[in-house]
Amino acid sequence: MTQFEGKVVMITGASRGIGEAAARLFAEAGAKVALLARGRDEIARIAGEIGPDAIAVPCDISRYWEVEAAVNACLQAFGKLDILINNAGALKPIAPLIEADPEEWGHVIDVNTKGVFNGMRAAMPVMLAQGGGTVITISSGAAHRPLEGWSAYCTSKAGTAMLTRAAHLENADKGLRIMGLSPGTVATQMQRDIKASGVNPVSQLDWEDHVPPEWPAKTLMWMCTPAADGYLGEEISLREEEIRRTVGLIA
């Protein structure tokens, strides 16, 4: 596969789950990938397994200067940045709003909303100077409806969905392709944490109800092609059978 030959992709939260799956698939398709996460050992291992077309950049996306430094590391290694996947996310605390720890609640906002802003703010000027680029942010059905015990997560994802719309409004005419992906429930560690909480209907789902992380990863790749141009500025839901069929996940 050489579909992304010559492209450079930066992925946050690349140490596991959707981020890891996306990094591996983009690399298999010929892209050079920059893996960002706080877990330096994990991304170092994954980048080592991918090979010389991958770099591991330890990064706390809630801190702008770290994200800016990560973008600069990507430019130093590969010379440009074509695609940003804002994937990193935090869920906890899972607790009633009136019982949630204020520091933990704020941390979710810092990662899920401010972290996405930081990624956009650091990467988009580079893309604009190059004449174009793609920014995709992982959203959630929780962005559009409240769920018991998830006040921080739902609020943060709602803010992230609006960031996607705002970024598209301001930059679509400048050559930037900006979209969101709502992947549904995915078989990752986050779902194990949700299951253990026993809170709200999502925790009652069986493991077999969740899609594998390769599904959203393949969808992200499809979103980076002109085939997805009809969805610019919008949020694609992987719950929709038509999307799954279009991407080639189901017959």
What is the set of active-site residues? 140, 153, 157
Q: Do the Cβ atoms of 112 and 156 come closer than 8 Å? A: yes
Rounded to whole angstroms, how far apart are CA atoms 159 and 96? 20
Sign of the dihedral defined by the CA atoms of residues 59, 60, 65, 68, in that order: positive
Residue 196 token pair = 């253990």
| Nearest CA-CA partner of 120 in 173, 47, 171, 157 | 171
Rounded to whole angstroms, how far apart are CA atoms 103 and 95? 13
User: What's the count of helices (H) and strands (E) in the chain, helices before strands?
Assistant: 9, 7
Rounded to whole angstroms, how far apart are CA atoms 144 and 180? 13
Q: Per the omega criterion (within 30 degrees of 0), is the bond before 93 cis?
A: yes
Q: Which amino acid is located at 246 in the chain?
A: T
